[in-house]
Amino acid sequence: MYRYVLKRLVLLIPVLLGVSFVVYTILDFAPGDPARLVLGSKSSEAAREEFREEHGLNKPFVVRYVSYVGKVVQGDFGKSYRTGRDVSKELLNRLPATVVLAATGVLFAIILSIPLGIVSAIKQHSAVDNVGMFVALFGITMPEFWLGLMLILLFSSFLGILPSGGYGSFANLILPALTVGMPCMANLTRVTRSEMLGVMREDFVRMARAKGVAKRVVIMKHCLKNALIPVITVAGLLFGTLLGGTVIVENVFGWPGVGAFLVKSITMKDIPAVMGGVMLLALLFSLVNLAVDIIYAFIDPRIKAEYSNRRSA
């Protein structure tokens, strides 16, 4: 098994290199002179030249990219044009907030969606199914910023039971997490339902029933384990969407995370900060997908067997 994990880990390296290259190249198109941006238009040409020299801005693209990657590997994301502080420090300060938000959002999505999807599938075309699918459809169609504002309107302003922003306590976390998890929840409910419906039509389900296994057991044991394989894959992919969502949700609720930092950096044309933020979120996404691949291998015997066999052979 750990060979499989190792293989996945090794495969992560070229992907992350590729991602960094793409992001670096795109951001290199950014017009404007960082030196002028940072030092102000009244600065002297000599000072700007010194700034360029210091930040390696005069070197050819490839050289700059390679040295950037070299530094990133050591945990150095450069200095923010805006604040002059280490981007890595800025990011690390904000990372916990984003991780907490994303994790709570995912948890909420999974805890609600899988049971709802199963019930909808078992009671296909029933009232529960119809209501569930209706809610799921709206979860997909509502833009997160608007959903967030509507939740503030309902829970903070109208009912007055939850804070509309802020950071620190669990109460602060509820609305942002709900907002960020909603699209994921809605998608997962639909995927769980359709996968369950698909699996429930399989021959082996009929076979299990013919053995005398009770319907409930067949659904919770035989069907669910099969349906979970694609559901987990989709959950991993949706985590990317969810991370993108944190960027928006953090802005709605004033959540002090990487996403809010990223948007502010974009508006300020703070390229090193944007670069670092995007790279960090991409890394987080890749790590989650790695975790998904590993969970996957534990559930799907086809992968498990492949690796255990090869070792014994």
Partner 1 sequence: MEQGYPELRIEDLNVVYDTEYGCVRAVNGIDFSIRKGRTLGLVGETGAGKTTTALALMRLIPDPPGRVTSGSIELLGTDIMSYSEREMDAIRGKVVSMIFQDPMTSLNPVFTVGAQIAEAIRIHKNLDAKAAMDEAISIMERVGIPGERAKEYPHQFSGGMKQRVVIAIALACTPQVLIADEPTTALDVTIQAQVLMMFSELSKASNTATIMITHDLGVVAEVCDEVAIMYAGEIVEYGSLEDIFDHYRHPYTEGLFASLPNLNDRNARLVPIKGLMPDPTALPSGCHFHPRCKYATKLCAERAPVKTVIEQEHYVRCLGYEEDAGVALEGFGNK
Partner 2 sequence: MKMSSLVMQAVTGSAPAVDLHVYKKRTQFGEVWRRFRRSKGAIVGLIIIALMLFCALFANFLFDYNTEVIEPNYDEALETPSAKHWFGTDEFGRDVFARVVFGARLSLYIGLTSTTSALIFGVLIGAFSGYIGGRFDSIVMRVVDVFLALPSILLALTIVAALGPNINNLILAISIANIPYFARIFRAEVLAIKDKEFIEASRALGANRNTIIFREILPNCLSPIIVQASIIMALAVIVSAEFSFLGLGVQPPTPEWGCMVAGARKFLLSSPYLTIFPGVAIMLTVLAFNLVGDALRDATDPRLKH
Binding interface with partner 1 (CB under 8 A) = 202-204, 206-215, 222, 225-226, 229, 299-302, 305
Rounded CA gap, 254 and 260, in Å? 8
75-134 residues in contact with partner 2 (CB under 8 A) are none
Binding status of residue 157 toward partner 2 by CB under 8 A: yes
Q: Residue 241 is which amino acid?
A: T
Pick from partner 2, partner 1, none: which does 198 bind, CB < 5 to 8 A by kind?
A: partner 2
Q: DSSP string spanning 166-189?
A: -SSSHHHHHHHHHHHHHHHHHHHH
> In angstroms, what is the minimal distance from the CB of 218 to partner 1?
10
Give exposure, 170-206, as e/b (b: 16+ Cβ within 10 Å): eebbbbbbbbbbbbbbbbbbbbbbbbbbebbeeeebe
Binding status of residue 13 toward partner 2 by CB under 8 A: no
Torsional sign, CA 196, 229, 181, 275: negative
> In angstroms, what is the minimal distance from the CB of 122 to partner 1?
14
Pick from partner 1, partner 2, none: which does 211 bind, CB < 5 to 8 A by kind?
A: partner 1
> In angstroms, what is the minimal distance from the CB of 309 to partner 1?
8
Q: Which residues contact 265 (CB under 8 A, 6 or more apart)?
A: 80, 82, 273, 274, 277
> In angstroms, what is the minimal distance from the CB of 203 to partner 1?
4
Q: Smaller CB distance to partner 2: residue 112 or 152?
A: 152
Q: Smaller CB distance to partner 1: residue 118 or 147?
A: 118
> In angstroms, what is the minimal distance from the CB of 297 to partner 1?
12
Q: Which region holds residue 75: left if phi is over 0, alpha if psi is between -120 and 50, else beta?
A: left
Q: Are 82 and 265 in contact (CB under 8 A)?
A: yes
Q: Are 281 and 265 in contact (CB under 8 A)?
A: no
What residues make contact with partner 2 under the rule CB under 8 A? 14-16, 18-19, 21-23, 26-31, 137-138, 140-146, 149-150, 152-153, 157, 198, 240-241, 243-245, 247-248, 251, 262-263, 265-267, 269, 271, 274, 278, 281-282, 285-286, 289
